[in-house]
Amino acid sequence: MKNIRRRKFMQLSALGLAAGAVAKADGLVPVAPTKKADASLKNEVDVLVVGGGTAGVVAAIQAARAGAKTMIVERGTQLGGTMTTGGVAWPGIFGAWGKQVIGGIGWELVKESVELDGGEMPDFSVYLKPHWKNQVMINQFLYALLAEEKCEKAGVDIATYEFPTQVTKTGKGWTVTCAGFGTQRTVNCKQIIDCTGGAAVVGLIGGERLREAETQPGSYLFKIGKPLDPGRGQCKRFAVEGADSTNSRTVTAANLFGRKMLLERLRGNPKKQLMHMQPETSFRENYRIMGEAFITEADYVAGKSYDDGVCNAFYPIDLHTMSGLKGKKLKSGIVPIIPLGALIPKGCKNIMVAGRCVSSDRMANSALRVQAPCMAMGQAAGAAAALAVEKQTTPGAVPLPELRALLERNGAIWAGESI
């Protein structure tokens, strides 16, 4: 029993529990903390990634692996965004027309999630129709754990429950003021990667953003009657009209609507047990930036090439409305390309975006917003930011051959290429 107590104590100590604890035969007894937490913090980093979702996780890991001191700030409880908190745990699409066109750190995370869960890997030599059959089923809970582990192994500092309130340009880059409950943080950084899904940081510095008056409906995911089988099955969902992730008020409204609908469903099925409920609505659309390059629907469906193309995308045009889907399939052989300029806000330096706030029109964005392209954008942004720090330049000025080499060393597939 003494050995068991000692092992338990060491485990708890290693986890760094804030209150501390000692193991006793009848449970845990809290112990006074040995050090008072400082509510006012200051960090000096090379790259600050804001938003720990689909694109942000990959951007942070790539920047850190490239040698940049990196920090990621996430407003929620965990990393992973749409795939974990939102529950859309079937990312895609990584393959097109019989070949893999998106790889890298995002694919590394997906692959390890599937393998650790004993799931089924896709066969990229076959392209299935309809397109959604090419998406990969993952265990959302495993993905969140692996995302944290990979960030920590790469040396990324993680700050959850925090979000920027002020961003100020300095001679060396940026000073970002973040707030969380019980925490005030100042981060001095050389580069920012805005992965908030709505270009929130770009908005704070006065950068140009685009958005329609309406937004695509979001999804509130749940399971009634039968348990959720993570990595094997999908949840049911309610469409949340006008779902808007712009601020805490609009997110609250979307979540309250989804939960109200779920409660009504349960009252209509008194013999059915609620088995699973996601904590937050999954959002499809928010602000986009006006970038140094701009991807139109015509560019996207034609697979337009760019001198600064950095990664591929693959998904049909997929605009959701409450009355139905407005879609357009890609012609056989077409693989859209994303240029570096679409990740750089117009007229801005030392800040990039990655993910669904990429510079694009609404129809092109309806395809670019899905997970695999967001992961590819995140990795490209992370690599460009790290190179910019190393070479003391801006992301738009990094040598493309060196950017390509860095990305390919980390498993990414360059624009126009496949494996």
Q: What is the pLDDT of residues 39-87, one digit of tens each?
A: 799 999 999 999 999 999 999 999 999 999 999 999 999 999 999 999 9
Tell which wins on pLDDT, 374 or 324: 374
Tokens matching residue 43: 């960090």
Q: How confident is the model at residue 26 (pLDDT cuts 50, 70, 90)?
A: very low
Which residues have a Cβ under 8 Å from the Cβ of 205 and sit 6 or more positions away?
Answer: 167, 169, 348, 351
CA 394 to chain centre: 23
| Reported pTM | 0.91
- Mean pLDDT confidence for 203-207: 98
At which residue do the structure tokens 């056989």 appear?
332
| pLDDT at residue 7 is higher than 70 | no
| pLDDT at residue 276 is higher than 70 | yes
Domains and CATH numbers, the chain: 1-36 (no CATH), 40-212+285-409 (3.50.50.60), 218-277 (no CATH)
Output the pLDDT for position 94.
97
In three-state secondary structure terms, 289 is: strand
Share of the chain above pLDDT 90, in %: 88
Q: CA–CA distance from 244 to each of 64, 110, 217, 282, 284 (Å)? A: 31, 27, 8, 10, 8
Q: How confident is the model at residue 16 (pLDDT cuts 50, 70, 90)?
A: very low
**Are the C-beta atoms of residues 101 and 412 closer than 8 Å to each other?**
no
Q: How confident is the model at residue 11 (pLDDT cuts 50, 70, 90)?
A: low
Mean of pLDDT over the chain: 92
Q: How confident is the model at residue 243 (pLDDT cuts 50, 70, 90)?
A: very high
Which residues have a Cβ under 8 Å from the Cβ of 141 and sit 6 or more positions away?
Answer: 84, 230
- Mean pLDDT confidence for 281-288: 97
Between CA 148 and CA 167 the distance in angstroms is 26
Q: How confident is the model at residue 36 (pLDDT cuts 50, 70, 90)?
A: low
Which residues have a Cβ under 8 Å from the Cβ of 107 and sit 6 or more positions away?
Answer: 94, 100, 372, 375, 411
Tell which wins on pLDDT, 375 or 24: 375
- Mean pLDDT confidence for 95-115: 97
Q: Rg (Cα) of the chain, in Å, rounded? A: 22
Between CA 19 and CA 17 the distance in angstroms is 6
**Are the C-beta atoms of residues 21 and 3 closer than 8 Å to each other?**
no
